Structures are given as structure tokens and as C-alpha cells.
Structure 1
């Protein structure tokens, strides 16, 4: 049997991820099967096992591809503008937009992988850290530019902001309520930039 070219292998890999993304999104993790993904892709179960060890590995690959897209898009959006307040707003907009565009995958990430015992140290864990570190760098650059108070803890601000964004997004993920992304991003960024103390 002739060996597949690298390009052909990548095409097959992407095709399997596309089918898995659709199946996981429509059915959830538990109701999705390797056989169902194979049928959707028009291939045999065995072909999937040439690329992935099991269903969990396939879900991880689906979400890793999503995170690569998120990181690339957010990095581009943040560096398109100047100033701490604008960059913070762009970051929040990007994060909320992902929840709005990919609610099913975001739900799977939170329920199936992030809260699992094997998450820490996994490739997806390190990708998540790469993503959240973008916000840390925005804050650190804001401090260096004199736009953010010197005693601001970038990692604490990161944790608070991500917790707030996720809580806001739960209205969409659990209740199906639409997110007003531009307006919410602007208000949330302003709250962090201006603070809440009366002046």
C-alpha cells in the first residue's frame, strides 16, 4: 500500500475533525460515538483509530484546533489597536464572540475537559494558558505605559476577568439568551479601566 503524502494525511485529519466537531456539537460528548463520526465522515471506524486513540483524544483535538483559531484571532485583534482600554475591550469582545459563535464546543470544553482530572498538564491546558497569558501581557504593557496602576496584579485581574466573562456567557450556554457582545464588552472593559470607586 503506497504511503500517503503529508498533505493527504492532513486532509484526512481535518476531515475527521470537521465530522467530529459537527457530531460533538449536535449530540454532546456522551451521545457521540466513533462509529457515528466515521459515518458522518464517510470512512471506517478503523481509519479514525489510525489518527486518534479514543473519543476523548478526538474531542481534545477538536478543541485544540478551536483554541488555535481563538489565539490567532485574538492576538490579531488586540494588536490592531493601541492603548490599554482599547486592547482590553478587543480581548473581551473576542472571548465573548467565541461563546456566541461556538456555544456547543465551549460547553464541551468546560464540562468534559477543563473539569477533568487529566486536564492539567495536557496540550489543551497549555493552549489555555497561552491564551490567558495574552491578557496578562496586555496588563503588563499597560503598567509599563503608565496606563495601569503599578500595584495591579496582572494574574489576579486575569482570573477575575475570565471568571466574569464566563459567568456572563452562562446566560447563553445554559439559558440560550443572546449575548450583546459589543455593548457588553465596552461596559465590562470600562468597569475594569475606570474602577468602581466613587471619585
Structure 2
């Protein structure tokens, strides 16, 4: 009897997990097409083929369901980002991968990203806090790369990991707004190259004769050593 009870419990748990995933997937589609404010629990329930009470049994409110949709999205992209970065060598290469991957994610999920961006900037403090926490965990991958780069000597000790993170994701957020506004999409490869170069080498115009001056100084130093 104990074995049967255990199996029954396992089946129930798996069924619940499956139902939750169905509801979350349906809610994601409804939120994308209707926006958070216009979306209703009734629409979500109807798309799953259940009654409203069933949805509310799993998620106490529409807000809780929206938070879960955002959470799952961030978990997906965070896992993909961390996995990809771990397989790459060099801080510059890792940073370029992060930028390129993030822009690609915006392209592939622009509708959902628009909903998240709009709702997180609204008046709902709870959702704003949740999104901020999810985003901080996701964007920490840049901070970790900068810290690794500082340890390896690729990145200057004076560089601020938090500031570099803000530059990366701040620039890409502006790109997202252009995307939402219907501006022509730029090539992800080109943006990744340009933003990576900007962060690594700055915007100061390098004099054309700087290499010659350095070589001249090295030559003078060598003569002094030989004396």
C-alpha cells in the first residue's frame, strides 16, 4: 500500500507541474498579445481549456502569474548566458558574446521584452522590485566577466564592473526602445563588435604617430641601457 501511495503522489505532483507550465505558457502568449492591463484570467484559462478558478488555484492573482512568466523568462536566458560564457576564453570574447546573445534575445523575444519593460516602469512597486532582482542576477554575468578580466590583466584595475554592466545593458535598452518604436533593426554582429570595441578601447582618438613615438622612446631607453 505504501508503494501505491508514493506512486500516486508522484503522478499528482507531475500533473501539477505540467498544469502550471501550461498556464504559464498560455499567460505568456496572452500578455504578449494583449498587454498586462488588458489581459484577463478568463482569457488565459480559456486558452488552457480550464475555468478561471483553476488558474487562480495555481496563481493567486494575475500579478503573481505575470511575475512567474517574467521569472521563467529570466531563468531561461540566464542559464543560456552563463552556459555560453563558461565555454569562451578571454574577457573581451566573453563580453562580445554577452552583447551579441542579449541583442539576439531581444530580437527573438521583443514582444515579451516590451511588456516586461512597460510593466516594470509602471506604478506597481512589487513587480518593479521583482524585475529588478531578476535583471540584477542576469546582468551579474557581465560583472563576473569584468572581475575575471581584471584578475587576468585584460582589464584595468581601475575599471568598475558595475559601471561597465550599466553601460552594456543601458546601451542595449536604448536599442530595445528603438526596436519597439519600429526603427530598422541593425545587425547584431555589428552592434556587438562596436559596443565591445567602445568598452574595451574607449572613444579617445588615437594619434596616428603614437606608435612611432613609442618606438622612439623604446629606442632611447635601449641606448641608455647599452651605455
Which structure: greater helix fraction?
2
Greater relative CO (CA pairs within 8 A, separation 6+)? 1
TM bin, normalised by shorter chain, reads over 0.9
1:10–1:76 distance in 2 versus 1, CA, 3 Å: same
DSSP-derived class of the 1:155 partner: helix
RMSD over aligned CA atoms reads 1.7
1:114–1:67 distance in 2 versus 1, CA, 3 Å: farther
Match of 1:118 in 2: 126
**Structure 1: which 5+ runs fail to align?**
none
Q: C-alpha displacement at 1:178, in angstroms?
A: 2.4
Say whether residues 1:140 and 2:147 are aligned partners: yes
User: TM-score with structure 2 length normalisation?
Assistant: 0.81
DSSP-derived class of the 1:23 partner: helix
For residue 30 of structure 2, the aligned residue among 23, 35, 43 is 23
- Write out aligned runs for 1:65-104 (5 A): 65-104=72-111
- Which sits farther off after the overlay, 185-194 or 141-150? 185-194
Find the aligned partners of 2:141 and 2:47 in 1 and give their Cα distance: 36
Query: Is the 2:100–2:189 Cα contact (8 Å) retained in structure 1?
Result: yes
Number of equivalences:
197
DSSP-derived class of the 1:82 partner: coil
Match of 1:52 in 2: 59
Find the aligned partners of 1:27 and 1:120 in 2 and give their Cα distance: 20
User: TM-score with structure 1 length normalisation?
Assistant: 0.92
- Write out aligned runs for 1:29-48 (5 A): 29-48=36-55
Q: C-alpha displacement at 1:177, in angstroms?
A: 2.9
